[in-house]
Structure 1
Amino acid sequence: MKAITYRGNGGTDVLELVDRQVPDPGPGEVRVRIAVSGVNPTDWKTRSGVTNPLQFPEIVPHLDGAGTIDAVGEGVDPGRVGQRVWVFMATAGRPTGTAAEFSVVPAELAAPLSDEASFDLGASLGVPALTAHRALTVDEDGPRRLAPGALDGKIVLVAGGAGAVGHAAIQLARWAGATVISTISGPEKARLAEAAGAHHVINYREGDPVADIRKIAPDGVDVVAEVALGANLALDLAVLRTRGTIATYANDGGKPVELEVRPNLMLNTRFQFVLLYTVGSEALAAGAEDVSAAVADGALPVGAEHGLPLVRFPLERTADAHQAVEDGAVGKVLVDVTAGA
């Protein structure tokens, strides 16, 4: 099989297209014939060594992907052979990700993908959708699971609604019944957030965004899904309701977070940091089940017309795909692995 590998941390030049034997699934595992692999910021950061030194002698990158189960290991229902799936967290503690024609993963990391959903959509789920799900289910006064009606009456603020996680947060929140506000930095990103389904889109660089949000949510927003905590903390606290939650999954821009205690005491602010690697198997399983249900309902479409442009590369250009993500490509970067899978 064709696979992308690297044997040392570094730039995109460490990525190689190689031939490897097709792996066999072990007990509790499935083998997936990968059609499309999704690229996330964590993939290039892991490759470069920004987050961790090399953990295995050789690594096939990418946490996320989509394809068809073609073999199962001992203890796995043989009826899953032929099942279309979306794969998530493939390289979490393992050396074999989805940048290969076949990938072996624990069976629970291959979630059913409805027949109506494309492999492009399946490969776009994983990190973005599960992160968004977690951000929307950690509010003290909110639900722990998402379904239609679960967020009825809630107001969710999604910072950076044009990003992959922001896009998923808008769609999941709206599917669950919330009123969704998204902050963006310009007209093009506003168009993407609106296409994703945000009810209100506010340019945080213009006018008085706090006043604009308070007009929509006079009692404050219930949950903030935050991508740049250092830069946006003052705005978040100015629009948060008492007992509200700021769920942060990144700190884009890298501005240090300076926290004043007393205003947060008065608000009873809940800060929730979200990282899928350490979120726990129970949260991942719940997220995967709910995300699959949302996909089956048609609630998580991708593509420019739905607010998430797809930027794609063939497998042999995976290095270019990594560079695109590192350079801040707008939309979802995908790698085509197996034609017609």
Structure 2
Amino acid sequence: MRAIVYAENGPSSVMKLAERAVPKPGPGEVLVRLVRAGVNPTDWKVRAGVSATLTTPEATPGQDGAGVVEEIGEGVTTHIVGQPVWLYMVQHGQAWGTAAEYVTVPAHKAVELAAGASYDLGASLGVPAMTAHRALTSGAVERVAPESFSGLTILVHGGAGAVGNAAIQLAVWAGATVITTVSSAEKAALAKAAGAHHIVNYREGDPAAEIREIAPDGVDQIVEVAPAVNNDLDLAVIANRGTIAIYANNGGDELTLPVRTTFSLNLRYQFLQLYRIEPAQIQAAAEDVAAAVAAGALRVGPEGGVPLHHYRLEETAAAHDAVEAGAVGKVLIDLE
């Protein structure tokens, strides 16, 4: 099979296209033939050594993907050969990821892809959708399902980003009123396609006043991508006993809090990293995301506000560079 490999951490140029043997699934595993692989910021950060150091002779990048089950390992009763699946957190816990024609994964990381759902969508789920799920369930609501957020108002910062987009779509499906912040008319159009009810350009006017006009009692929950720069705004619009769920450090690594103002709001800050949350929370995310896909609630492409950027396997380095440079939308690797 063809696979992208790297033998040292470094820039995208350390990755090479190579021929490797098709792996065999071990007990509890399935072998998947990849049709699409998704590329996320975590992929280039792991490869570059920013968030992980290579400890094996070589590795294949890629956490997310979609394809078809080709072979089933001993003890697996949950899958059948020929079944379309989407994959999540593939390279986490093993050296080989989804930038290859085949990959073996623990069976629970291969989730059935609903009938009618595209491989483009399947490969776009994983890290973004499951991070969004955890951000949404960091407050009073434990599962994302129809009407589970009924009556709540959610503020999603960075609604044109991958996690922000997924958070909008999941929260709308769950019955929330969704406000999102963006920085341009182009990104506003993407957030609108995702289904956001209210869109605020934070570079214009008074975003706090605009959000308060929409939600006079404050927003119940905030999905936060840039806490260092957004915290004053968050404190101005969060409701008493609200939750601010933080999944990234865009805009700065240091966050300073006004203690009295913060504790006077009885609010909760929930920091989260997908790779270190509890297995039960990961399983809940996979189940709820799969249900949203089956219901048609998660979309990519123009209809979902997610521009798609396709690269061939041999162009994986360019795909990583595009994500590192901040490509708007979803970067995918085509494997057939």
- TM above 0.5: yes
**What CA distance in whole angstroms lies between the structure 2 residues aligned with 1:101 and 1:79?**
19
**What CA distance in whole angstroms lies between the structure 2 residues aligned with 1:79 and 1:298?**
22
Partner of 2:193: 195
Partner of 1:108: 108
**What CA distance in whole angstroms lies between the structure 1 residues aligned with 2:62 and 2:78?**
26
Note if contact 1:162-1:330 (Cα within 8 Å) is conserved in structure 2.
Answer: yes
TM-score normalized by the length of structure 1 = 0.97
Partner of 2:143: 145
2:324 to 301, 323, 326: 326
Once the 2 structures are TM-superposed, how far is the Cα of residue 213 of structure 1 from its aligned partner?
0.3
Say if 1:280 and 1:297 are closer, same or farther in 2 by CA, change over 3 A: same
**What CA distance in whole angstroms lies between the structure 2 residues aligned with 1:255 and 1:182?**
22
Partner of 1:165: 163
Q: What is the one-letter code of the residue matched to 1:71?
A: E
Q: What is the one-letter code of the residue matched to 1:230?
A: A
Partner of 2:44: 44
Once the 2 structures are TM-superposed, how far is the Cα of residue 88 of structure 1 from its aligned partner?
0.2
Q: What is the one-letter code of the residue matched to 2:22?
A: V
Partner of 1:316: 314
Within 5 Å, which residues of 2 pair with 1:178-193? 178-193=176-191
Once the 2 structures are TM-superposed, how far is the Cα of residue 53 of structure 1 from its aligned partner?
1.4
Partner of 1:234: 232
Say if 1:288 and 1:79 are closer, same or farther in 2 by CA, change over 3 A: closer
Residue 114 of structure 2 corresponds to residue 99 of structure 1: no
Residue by residue over 1:98-130, the C-alpha shift from the partner in whole angstroms, topping out at 9 and shown as x without a partner, is: 100000000000111011100000000000000
3-state SS in 2 of match to 1:148: coil
Within 5 Å, which residues of 2 pair with 1:207-226? 207-226=205-224
Once the 2 structures are TM-superposed, how far is the Cα of residue 78 of structure 1 from its aligned partner?
7.1
Once the 2 structures are TM-superposed, how far is the Cα of residue 260 of structure 1 from its aligned partner?
1.8
Partner of 2:255: 257
Partner of 1:119: 119
Unaligned runs of at least 5 residues, structure 2: none
Q: What is the one-letter code of the residue matched to 2:317?
A: A
**What CA distance in whole angstroms lies between the structure 2 residues aligned with 1:84 and 1:37?**
14
Say if 1:164 and 1:78 are closer, same or farther in 2 by CA, change over 3 A: closer
Q: What is the one-letter code of the residue matched to 1:286?
A: A
Residue by residue over 1:152-204, the C-alpha shift from the partner in whole angstroms, topping out at 9 and shown as x without a partner, is: 00000000000000000000000000000000001100110011000000001
3-state SS in 2 of match to 1:289: helix
Identity of aligned residues (%): 59
**What CA distance in whole angstroms lies between the structure 1 residues aligned with 2:112 and 2:317?**
29
3-state SS in 2 of match to 1:80: coil
Once the 2 structures are TM-superposed, how far is the Cα of residue 251 of structure 1 from its aligned partner?
1.2
Say if 1:32 and 1:247 are closer, same or farther in 2 by CA, change over 3 A: same
Within 5 Å, which residues of 2 pair with 1:6-155? 6-77=6-77, 79-139=79-139, 142-155=140-153
Note if contact 1:72-1:78 (Cα within 8 Å) is conserved in structure 2.
Answer: no
Q: How many residues align?
A: 336
2:297 to 283, 287, 299: 299
Once the 2 structures are TM-superposed, how far is the Cα of residue 239 of structure 1 from its aligned partner?
0.3
3-state SS in 2 of match to 1:135: helix
Partner of 1:274: 272
**What CA distance in whole angstroms lies between the structure 2 residues aligned with 1:187 and 1:92?**
36
Once the 2 structures are TM-superposed, how far is the Cα of residue 55 of structure 1 from its aligned partner?
2.4
3-state SS in 1 of match to 2:151: coil
**What CA distance in whole angstroms lies between the structure 2 residues aligned with 1:280 and 1:66?**
24
3-state SS in 1 of match to 2:167: helix
3-state SS in 2 of match to 1:69: strand
CA RMSD of aligned residues (A): 0.9
Q: What is the one-letter code of the residue matched to 2:107?
A: A
Residue by residue over 1:21-66, the C-alpha shift from the partner in whole angstroms, topping out at 9 and shown as x without a partner, is: 0000001101110000000000000100111211221111000000
Partner of 2:246: 248
Tell me which moved more, 47-56 or 232-241: 47-56
Once the 2 structures are TM-superposed, how far is the Cα of residue 305 of structure 1 from its aligned partner?
3.1
Note if contact 2:165-2:194 (Cα within 8 Å) is conserved in structure 1.
Answer: yes
After the TM superposition, which segments of 4 or more aligned residues of structure 1 sit over 6 Å from their partners? none
Tell me which moved more, 252-261 or 224-233: 252-261
Once the 2 structures are TM-superposed, how far is the Cα of residue 253 of structure 1 from its aligned partner?
2.0
Say if 1:78 and 1:70 are closer, same or farther in 2 by CA, change over 3 A: farther
Note if contact 1:60-1:99 (Cα within 8 Å) is conserved in structure 2.
Answer: yes
